[in-house]
A and B are shown apart, each in its own frame.
Chain A
Amino acid sequence: MKLHFTTNHQDHRVALLAALAITIHIIEAAFPSPLPAVKPGLANVVTLFTFLRYGWQTALQVSLLRVIISSLLLGTFLSPTFLLSLSAALLSLSSLFLLQLLFRQFFLHKYQPSAIGYAVIASITHMSGQFLVAWYFFIPHPGLFKLLPLFITFAVILAIVSGIITQLLINQIQQR
């Protein structure tokens, strides 16, 4: 039996962006980090860029593909790491969606934050969502909360960096 798929421009775009995100995710996983759960999160630059340029549907596809495929490649599929990664990806994307909706519906569009503001919000939801899932399902110990301020500090600093990268990327592409 011969299977035949017809793909359109949108599918190619999703595949390209997901491939980029997966590559960054895997390279990042190879680097040691000072604390577990603290990663530069450069793969989220791709998600944020996709969200701001192509909308939430494309970003959702890209980020789900990234989480599932990179977990298959790293061997963490359906493990706690995978669940943390999936819940964090979904939460941070929904926070981006809500933030954009808020500025489109209720505030003036021109007050919309740049990629930096979006990155900070997404990163905080990402980290706190992941943290609550870890606390609720895996390590239900109140002592874990002593780590939360530290994690959020790293999340904010790294989000500013990835937000700046995303903004520069968007500026570069708009100039062409």
Chain B
Amino acid sequence: MLTIGKVIFKGTDIIILFAACALTVWLYSTFWFNSTQQGEAEALLVQFADNPPTEYSLSEERVITVEGKIGSSVIEIKQGKARFIHSSCRNQFCVFHGWLTVLGDTAACLPNRISIRLKGAFSDYDALAGSQ
């Protein structure tokens, strides 16, 4: 039992709090610092709305124009990196996001409903993408 002022933390509360902290740490380590995400990004997935994503290899340099909900988005692939270089949306968050360099990096244009993501040869996230 731990008493702070008028508040009493019972033993069970402290156990629950520890478990909650452990869960939070586990979530950070899984989704932010995922060890299975290590490796080289090999392809770029471009997805419009709920359609299945289209895959582009990162090894060849190219500029892709995708038609979205409100207009077109232009995506550039260069030296194993990818970025939005133009978008029809107002805020331009996707363009300001800059280069996607590391496996698992994601950028999205919500108004245009287009998202891009770097994919590796084997990545955990593909299992999730497959279940959509």
Contact = CB atoms under 8 A, between A and B. Distances in A.
Contacts of B31: 145-146, 148-149
A70 B117 CA distance: 38
B125 A142 contact: yes
Residue of B6, B31, B125 contacting most chain A CB atoms (<10 Å): B31
B6 A114 contact: no
Interface string B82-116: 00000000000000000000000010100000010
A124 B115 CA distance: 29
B9 to A, nearest CB: 6
Contacts of A164: 7
A141 B108 CA distance: 10
Place the interface of chain B in its size category. Answer: 20 to 34
A68 interface: no
A149 B47 CA distance: 24
B16 A149 contact: no
Given A142-B129, A156-B20, A167-B7, A149 B13 contact: no
Place the interface of chain A in its size category. Answer: 20 to 34
B11 to A, nearest CB: 7
Contacts of A55: none
Nearest to B110: A139
B101 to A, nearest CB: 16
Contacts of A116: 7, 9, 13, 16-17
Contacts of A160: 17
B12 A113 contact: yes
Nearest to A164: B7
B117 A143 contact: yes
Contact of A168 (B7, B20, B24, B108): B7
A112 B15 CA distance: 11
Contacts of B115: 141, 143
B4 to A, nearest CB: 9
Contacts of B108: 141, 143
Contacts of A148: 27, 31
A142 B11 CA distance: 37
Contacts of B21: 156
B12 to A, nearest CB: 4
B23 interface: yes
Nearest to B4: A164
Nearest to A121: B16
Contact of A171 (B6, B11, B117): B6
A5 interface: no
A94 B4 CA distance: 30
Given A111-B12, A167-B7, A140 B28 contact: no
Given A112-B12, A124-B23, 16 more contacts: A111-B10, A111-B12, A114-B9, A114-B10, A114-B13, A117-B15, A141-B47, A142-B125, A143-B108, A145-B128, A148-B31, A152-B23, A156-B24, A167-B7, A168-B7, A171-B6
